[in-house]
Amino acid sequence: MPPTQSSTHSDSGPEKAVDGIRNTDLIDGVSCTHTVADSYSWWLVDLLKEYYIISERMLNRGPDRSGIDTSDRLRNVTITTRVHPNYTSIFCGFYAGPGKPSELVRVDCPPFTRGRYVQINL
């Protein structure tokens, strides 16, 4: 099942977060996911089966080809997991930010955190 997100800005769909392309220029339209400025933005992936979740990694955007850097927008990120779509979310971790350009952010989960669904809440 492909990932989903609360909204999509331009052609920056949720699948671009897991496509393996590590280009951090949002404007190139190749590899960054981006939501619209909603009051509650999220991104969700179904791992298709349950796993122990040790950590979650996010590659932040970098300066775009025009030299504009908005990487500091990555802040106040909460990671949660669920074993079933209708179950209560389990807290995994928090990233206060602000993000740095092209930063690989790692959020560690408490020991024995399990989940099939991983959600990033902004």
Domain count along the chain: 1
- Region 4-12: what's the mean pLDDT? 75
CATH number of the domain to which 13 belongs: 2.60.120.260
Domain of residue 56 covers 4-121
- Judge contact between 96 and 76, C-beta under 8 A: yes
pLDDT, tens only, 51-72: 999 999 999 988 988 888 989 9
Chain position carrying tokens 């909460």? 78
Single out the residue of 16, 93, 1 nearest to residue 47, CA to CA: 1
Taking only the tens place, the pLDDT of each residue in 10-39 is 777 667 777 777 777 767 766 777 788 777
For residues 1 and 70, give the distance between their C-alpha atoms in angstroms, rounded to a whole number: 30
Average pLDDT across the chain, whole number: 88
Beta carbons within 8 Å of 68's beta carbon, 6+ residues apart = none
